[in-house]
């Protein structure tokens, strides 16, 4: 069944990312009709941030952003939307995306301040005293290793924490960040009435009260029981005392956080029935913006780091990657894997073997046969996290390789490959690793479809390799604003669920519109034959496991 929005309706999605605050406005046909942006460094220079953050000069890995910069940016961005003549009265729902893991510490008494904002004055002066600390730790912070190990130990180990919360403890995750504040800034912790994520913080501004944390972004905290979608008592106790009260309740991502606060209705002429739908993290919103909606859907974002998102019913949380609650359907899960060695490592091979040219690179890729005559390469120009391996290149040739069963075949290590084998080895190697790790993580095989995005997804030869290795259709979409677009789609979705009084699948909103709208995906390649690659992948996993045992650090 297809659901539509009222003809003249608009939905608004924000993206409060590390560097900027963006807005995307969609009409009832889900076409983008306006978008605006505020860059923090250049447009709010009085915070003196570099890359929108403060890095601790002692090199201890502490990285924070000024909370008030985000408050001021919201006023500024709404002013730009007014200038762009967006008719605020037509906006039926607003949602947003926040950089994941970052946290905000509301001072005792601030809920009253939030509820009584004066629409004649900007937000900033009214909220300048609302926080127990004005510095929000963000995802780039890596200063909480001690707290990570303490939390893992308290719940019985890293794997146990992952099975409860969807991830082992990571420095940037909010639980370890909160524990560090509790341990090192005890006054701040005790003076805090409510802890928000960046996402629920921005939603709180819009509703004039504390918004719940949504279940998808809560999955990036090491605090939520991923199966039951409630705070885990064990994880809470391992993190800090009295924490549950400071976190408030959880809410499904499609739920209504509240009505637009009178402050924004009077100051910007929003409709007073405008709904604020729960904000979520940037990665969950990107999943929504890339139109992933069904178990088996997979997105591969090929950028500086390669990131994979997928939807599954049966996740297998482990010591790598992350399981999140699915932001567009709470009955299943989102999995996310991040590779550090992405485009810079591909470029390194291009520069060494292909005269620094993608055209030459593509020709070489096509000269080498699929399965590369049994040649397998592992290229880590950066210390890799998936698998955990140090910088280094490793090349192997499978002996007596015919492309049929590899079970009995042995391999030997070599120093180098010829240029076309090297080019095919990096591409096949990265993709085989993605296939192996997503399958190990509980993604269906083959995937239902793959949506490729990011710089390298413009390369048809690489798309061809993705289709053959994964054995499914690959679509491309060049959508640089997938997080704010996803937020706008989720705003419309939340509005529809509220209107129908129960959850409706998000795909029912755009199924028949896809080809006509800005979301259109083009089928790029037919599925290839993946069964030979299945054997090749098993061989690769065998070698990878050996490398991790020999060289890896957990
Ligand atoms: C995800 C992560 C980043 C942030 C900022 O775990 O740390 O992607 O969400 O974009």
Token representation of residue 369: 């046969």
98 C-alpha to ligand 1 centroid (Å): 9
Burial class (CB in 10 A: 0-12, 13-18, 19+), 76: middle
Element of type H or E holding 441: none
Whether 375 lines ligand 1, by a CB cut-off of 6 Å, is no
Ligand 1 atom at minimum distance from 281 CA: 9
Residue nearest to atom 3 of ligand 1 (CA): 100
Residue nearest to atom 5 of ligand 1 (CA): 99
Whether 283 lines ligand 1, by a CB cut-off of 6 Å, is yes
* The pLDDT value given to residue 552: 77
94 C-alpha to ligand 1 centroid (Å): 22
* The pLDDT value given to residue 518: 54
Token pair 């705070």 is found at 231
Ligand 1 atom at minimum distance from 307 CA: 8
The torsion region of residue 314 among left (phi > 0), alpha (psi -120 to 50) and beta comes to beta
* The pLDDT value given to residue 541: 96
Whether 11 lines ligand 1, by a CB cut-off of 6 Å, is no
For residue 32, the SS3 value is: strand
Indicate the domain borders of the chain: 10-278, 289-340+448-524, 343-446+528-551
DSSP letter (8 states) at residue 31: -
- The phi and psi torsions of 353 (rounded to 5 degrees) equal -115, -15
* pTM for the model: 0.93
Same fold: 10-278 with 343-446+528-551: yes
Whether 172 lines ligand 1, by a CB cut-off of 6 Å, is yes
Mutate to test the pocket of ligand 1, among 101, 175, 304 (most ligand atoms within 8 A of CB): 101
228 C-alpha to ligand 1 centroid (Å): 23
Q: Tell me which residue of 554, 490, 477, 458 sits closest to 517, measured CA to CA.
A: 477
Give me the architecture of the 10-278 domain, per CATH. 2-Layer Sandwich (3.30)
CA-CA distance, 100 to 111, in Å (whole number)? 23
Whether 433 lines ligand 1, by a CB cut-off of 6 Å, is no
138 C-alpha to ligand 1 centroid (Å): 9
Q: Does domain 343-446+528-551 have CATH number 3.40.50.2300?
A: no
Q: Does domain 289-340+448-524 have CATH number 3.30.750.24?
A: no
- Which pLDDT tens digits describe the chain residue by residue (554 residues)? 778 899 999 999 999 999 999 999 999 999 999 999 999 999 999 999 999 999 999 989 999 999 999 999 999 999 999 999 999 999 999 999 999 999 999 999 999 999 999 999 999 999 999 999 999 999 999 999 999 999 999 999 999 999 999 999 999 999 999 999 999 999 999 999 999 999 999 999 999 999 999 999 999 999 999 999 999 999 999 999 999 999 999 999 999 999 999 999 999 999 999 999 999 999 999 999 999 999 999 999 998 889 999 999 999 999 989 999 999 999 999 999 999 999 999 999 999 999 999 999 999 999 999 999 999 999 999 889 899 899 999 999 999 887 777 777 899 999 999 999 999 999 999 999 999 999 999 999 999 999 998 888 888 899 999 999 999 988 888 777 899 999 999 999 999 999 999 999 999 998 766 545 555 566 665 555 678 899 999 999 999 999 999 997 54
Token pair 């990312």 is found at 17
């Amino acid at each position: 069944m297809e659901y539509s929005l009222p003809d003249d309706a608009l939905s608004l999605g924000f993206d409060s990312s590390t560097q900027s605050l963006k807005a995307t406005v969609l009409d009832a046909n889900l076409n983008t009709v306006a978008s605006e942006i505020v860059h923090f460094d250049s447009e709010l220079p009085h915070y003196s941030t570099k890359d929108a953050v403060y890095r601790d000069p002692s090199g201890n890995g502490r990285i924070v952003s000024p909370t008030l910069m985000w408050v001021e940016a919201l006023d500024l961005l709404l002013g730009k939307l007014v200038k762009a003549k967006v008719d605020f009265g037509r906006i039926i729902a607003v949602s947003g995306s926040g950089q994941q893991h970052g946290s905000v510490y509301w001072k005792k008494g601030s809920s009253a301040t939030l509820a009584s904002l004066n629409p004649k004055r900007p937000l900033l002066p009214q909220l300048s005293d609302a926080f127990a600390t004005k510095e929000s730790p963000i995802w780039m912070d890596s200063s909480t290793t001690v707290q990570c190990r303490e939390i893992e130990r308290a719940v019985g180990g890293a794997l146990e924490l992952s099975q409860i919360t969807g991830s082992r403890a990571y420095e940037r995750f909010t639980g370890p960040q909160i524990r560090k504040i509790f341990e090192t800034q005890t006054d701040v912790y005790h003076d805090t009435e409510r802890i928000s994520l960046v996402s629920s913080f921005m939603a709180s501004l819009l509703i004039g009260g504390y918004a719940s944390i949504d279940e998808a972004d809560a999955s990036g905290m090491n605090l939520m029981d991923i199966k039951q979608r409630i705070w885990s008592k064990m994880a809470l106790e391992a993190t800090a005392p009295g924490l549950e009260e400071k976190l408030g309740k959880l809410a499904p991502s499609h739920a209504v956080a509240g009505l637009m606060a009178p402050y924004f209705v009077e100051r910007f002429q929003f409709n007073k029935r405008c709904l604020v739908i729960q904000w979520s993290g940037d990665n969950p919103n990107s999943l929504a913006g890339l139109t992933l909606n069904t178990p088996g859907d997979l997105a591969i974002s090929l950028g500086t780091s390669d990131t994979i998102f997928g939807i599954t019913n049966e996740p297998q949380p482990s010591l790598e990657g992350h399981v999140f609650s699915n932001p567009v359907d709470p009955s299943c899960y989102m999995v996310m894997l991040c590779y550090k060695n992405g485009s810079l490592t591909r470029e390194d091979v291009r520069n060494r073997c292909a005269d620094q040219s993608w055209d030459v690179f593509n020709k070489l890729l096509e000269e080498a046969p699929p399965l590369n005559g049994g040649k397998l390469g592992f290229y880590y120009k950066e210390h890799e996290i998936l698998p955990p391996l140090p910088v280094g290149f490793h090349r192997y040739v499978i002996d007596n390789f015919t492309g049929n069963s590899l079970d009995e075949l042995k391999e030997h290590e070599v120093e180098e490959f010829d240029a076309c084998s090297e080019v095919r080895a990096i591409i096949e190697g990265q993709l085989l690793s993605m296939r192996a790790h997503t399958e190990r993580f509980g993604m269906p095989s083959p995937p239902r479809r793959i949506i490729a995005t990011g710089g390298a997804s413009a390369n048809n030869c690489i798309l061809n390799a993705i289709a053959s290795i994964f054995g499914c259709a690959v679509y491309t979409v060049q959508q640089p604003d997938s997080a704010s677009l996803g937020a706008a789609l989720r705003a419309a979705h939340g509005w529809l669920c509220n209107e129908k009084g129960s959850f409706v699948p998000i795909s029912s909103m755009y199924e028949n519109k896809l080809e006509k709208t800005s979301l259109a995906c083009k089928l790029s390649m037919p599925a290839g034959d993946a069964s030979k690659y299945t054997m090749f992948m098993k061989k690769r996993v065998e070698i990878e496991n050996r490398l991790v045992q020999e060289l890896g650090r957990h």
